[in-house]
Amino acid sequence: MKKLLLLLAFATTLFAQGVKVPDAEQFVGPPKGQPVTGALLDEQANQTAGLLRCPVCQGMSVADSPSEMAVNMKHQVRDLIARGYTQEQILRYFERSYGQFVLLKPKFQGVNTLVWILPIVALAVGIFAIFSMMGKGGSQPVDEPPASAADEDPYLAEVRKLTGKQS
């Protein structure tokens, strides 16, 4: 509540000075949801910030990063949820500025489709290869015993032939 009042006071000060910052409404329209407050606001803000990549960090989410840029983004996410913006609208707003780079979970479209499909294809190919090899292994003929020295020696073979012995 205290944070919300501070945010309101900050916004009022900006307005009084004639300061105008770009607003989400200009890009993603009016809020589609209901204003959120209290613990639910914290929870939803954290969840949404967790889906956004911090632009100045190495693979960290906005929720996890302590950088000032991420903190500013987190404040903005919180502010938008408090005003009733949905998660989809908020992600779209940030995507409009930073592109798909800002989304930690890539969208199922374009080249990104490969990110979702390739692991499944690789797994299927692997399973197929393993089962094929196992199947082939079971029906393989038993190897012939190595030829004995007698089979290779024509003299010995001739003696065996004459005496009628086979081994």
Residues that bind other proteins (CB under 8 A): 10, 14, 17-22, 26-27, 55-56, 58, 68-69, 72-73, 75-76, 94-99, 101, 122, 125, 129, 132-133, 136
Q: How far is CA 62 from CA 47, 48, 49, 68, 115, in A?
A: 10, 9, 5, 10, 22
Q: Which residue type is seen at 50?
A: G
Smaller CB distance to other proteins: residue 96 or 161?
A: 96
| Closest distance to other proteins from the beta carbon of 123 (Å) | 12
| Closest distance to other proteins from the beta carbon of 40 (Å) | 23
| Closest distance to other proteins from the beta carbon of 84 (Å) | 18
CA angle, 56 then 91 then 89, to 5°: 150
Smaller CB distance to other proteins: residue 40 or 118?
A: 118
Q: Tokens representing 141? A: 């003929």
Smaller CB distance to other proteins: residue 14 or 156?
A: 14
Distant-in-sequence, close-in-space partners of 63: CB < 8 Å, separation ≥ 6: 46, 47, 49, 50, 52, 74
| Closest distance to other proteins from the beta carbon of 72 (Å) | 4
